[in-house]
Amino acid sequence: MLNIRYLIVSLAAVFLALGIGIFIGFMFDGQEIFINQQETLVRQLESKFGEIREEKEVLEEEIELQRKQLKNYEEYSENTLPLLINTKLQDTNIAIIETNDDYIYNGIISPIEKAQGNITSITYVKKDFLLEDSKMLEEVYDYFVNKKGISIDKNNFIQYLSDELARAILDQDEEILQYLKEKEIIEIKGDYSSTIDYFIIAGGSASEKTKTIEKIDIPFIKKAKQYNIPIVGIEQSNVRYSYMDAYRKEKISTIDNVDTIIGQYSLIQVMQGQEGNFGFKTSADRLIP
């Protein structure tokens, strides 16, 4: 009995040792397979990264080529524009009003002058024009009610003031203009004694919730139209909040990219009599007249 038990234990030990040996051998073989798989994967990744680098280099070369071509087009446009617009605005008196000081529109002066247009005046409307300061509101309101004898509800006074600003420019009323300048709610530049053939109103805002359009721009546009003075609304292509849709509703021509050569060409064409809404944005009907 003891011999059989010893035999069984011995056989079990032999099979256990054999199993361990097989397991160890399998592990070594499996590890070698795993290493081979990893090496294959690394080679594939290196090849893929190489392809990506090559594609990146090709794209960078294409982008650089496009930049050079764009620069050449811009230089060509800058050199061609004066030839296209030369004398187009000769003997035309133009008044500019900027209704928001978020953006600067000095860039339109040069093409107008190259077209031999005469910029008679530039009026800059400051944020304080909205008279949100109660003390300033009382002072300006008192001036118009008591000294000028107008009758106007205070709630509608800002719209009236915008209307009055347009009238003062059109009627060469320098007393009103000087008063508003002294109150530091507008800046004036140029000769306000000349008659005006064309108005440019420059808008666009950096703030979404602005009262400027309803209280300044729209009343100004309506007053200019009452005088039968043609008016064009402009803004830069990078304004955060566009005024173009509001201007369109007033049935005036608009240019939403006046900071570009294309927009400046459109501006000259519009002041020559071409009507429409031009530029890059959804408010535009087409790019150029």
**pLDDT tens digits for 234-276?**
999 999 999 999 999 999 999 999 999 999 999 999 999 999 9
Closest CA to 204 of 161, 162, 234: 234
The structure tokens listed for 15 are: 């099979």
Global pTM reads: 0.75
47, pLDDT greater than 90: no
- Starting at the edge strand found earlier in the chain, the sheet holding 253-255 runs 186-190, 118-125, 93-98, 198-202, 231-234, 253-255, 277-278
Element (H, E) at 200: strand 198-202
209, pLDDT greater than 70: no
86, pLDDT greater than 60: yes
Q: What is the mean pLDDT of residues 195-210?
A: 87
38, pLDDT greater than 90: no
31, pLDDT greater than 90: no
* pLDDT tier for residue 33 given thresholds of 50, 70 and 90: low
The length of the chain is 289
CA angle 123, 125, 128 (to 5 degrees): 150
